[in-house]
Amino acid sequence: MDVLRCPKRASLNNDSMMSGGRLLMKRLLVIFTGGTIGSKAEGLAINVSDSGSYTLLEEYRKQPFYRNDVQLDTIQPLNLLSENLTPQDWLVLAKAIREVDWSLYEGLIVTHGSDTLAYTAAMMSYLFADVPIPLVLTASNYPIADVRSNGLRNLSSSIDFIVNASLPGTFVVYENNKGEPLVYLGTRIFQNESFTDQFLSPYELVYGMMASDRTFQLVEDRRNPDPASLSPRASTLSWEPLTLQLEDAVLYIKPYPGLNYDLYDFSKQKPRVILHDLHHSGTANALEAGPYSLTAFIEKIRELEIDCYLCPITNASDALYDSSHRLIDAGARFIENISIEAALTKLMLAYGMIEEDGARDAFIRSASIYYEKLEVLS
């Protein structure tokens, strides 16, 4: 990949400086939430522990890449394996971040489990589009006591990214299987892969990487925002911890041959909205009728006043298969140029916070809150 060395952003607190012979410390806040990076293995079982998160920092201080020019403050609003994460936990995390005095810190690091990190990164990107300092999420593939673990290196790279790049916004820092510490924008990362423990991104485009000299290198691509242009983005949603609401009545469906929509019975409880995944060509079963027909299913749920969004698709205004047109005619709405993870969290936020359908739909499909909509290269 093509990389461009990113110059350090000028800041009164940036770079190591001496004052009267004393090293000025850069103050960072580490926000523990549990996950593998904060867990311990006991026998064949891996689980979070009260001391696991703090052991991470103790072990980091023993490493040759430890920085003595940083002060790491800590809070722990959550302590769970990320597969157990719920929208209520996002509210707890968002409240903890919002109540931090950002002016005291060079940046914030959220240690998180890898299973649901992509969803949390997208949600925090939307909620903290206005953050004026780096908000970095990171994780570990194994408990840090395991020799295969990349957790300590991921923490180190996250610290280096904050100190040496000092870019405002929400990011994920995670080492790939080539030993490269990659930097992702928070809304441009897919869920961790089952067989490889790797994070991928739309178009395999990452934002950058940390070089061997611990500086940030941008991946030069017109779809990546220029670091010099990064600034806190005006929030399109006004929220405070007491007013923030996330809708959990969102149903996600992934298509496969033989998906029988008659199995979905909404007589007792129904979702407010359904997010339906698509095949790579932007299609799903569009038979006119029958239990396997998404077209018939969309018509059925419209009668129940359940909205339906379809994703991912690069450009719904481009030439589409006949089946795609049938889905649109049935009442489905396409969300273009956005990952499933970013789309799902955007729906949960929109349906939790916006009542009027037109405004909510514009927020979901038209607004780019934090770089979640990718430009399609011709």
User: What pLDDT, in 10s, does the model give residues 317-329?
Assistant: 654 666 777 888 8
Q: Burial of 181 by CB count in 10 Å (0-12 exposed, 13-18 middle, 19+ buried)?
A: buried
One of 33, 36, 116, 295 is an active-site residue; which one? 36
The residue with greater pLDDT, 4 or 123, is: 123
User: How does residue 41 score in pLDDT terms, banded at 50, 70 and 90?
Assistant: low
Contact (Cβ atoms closer than 8 angstroms) between residue 241 and residue 99: yes
Tokens of 291: 């239990």
pLDDT exceeds cutoff 80 at 39: no
Identical fold between 3-229 and 250-365: yes
**3-229 classified as CATH 3.40.50.1170:** yes
Per-residue pLDDT tens over the stretch 182-213: 999 999 999 999 898 899 999 999 999 999 99
Each domain of the chain, given as residue ranges in start order, spans: 3-229, 250-365
Residue-level pLDDT at 321: 63
pLDDT attached to residue 13: 39
Catalytic status, residue 55: no
DSSP 305: T
Query: What pLDDT score does 51 carry?
Result: 61
Confidence of residue 336 (pLDDT cuts 50, 70, 90): very high
Q: Is the pLDDT of residue 116 over 60?
A: yes
Region 98-117: what's the mean pLDDT? 97
Mean pLDDT of the chain: 89
Say if residue 16's pLDDT is above 50: no
Choices 3.40.50.40, 3.50.50.60, 3.40.718.10, 3.90.1860.10: CATH for 250-365: 3.40.50.40
Residue 15 has a pLDDT of: 42
Cβ-Cβ contacts under 8 Å for 298 (sequence gap 6 or more): 308, 327, 330, 331, 332
How much is the pLDDT for 12? 31
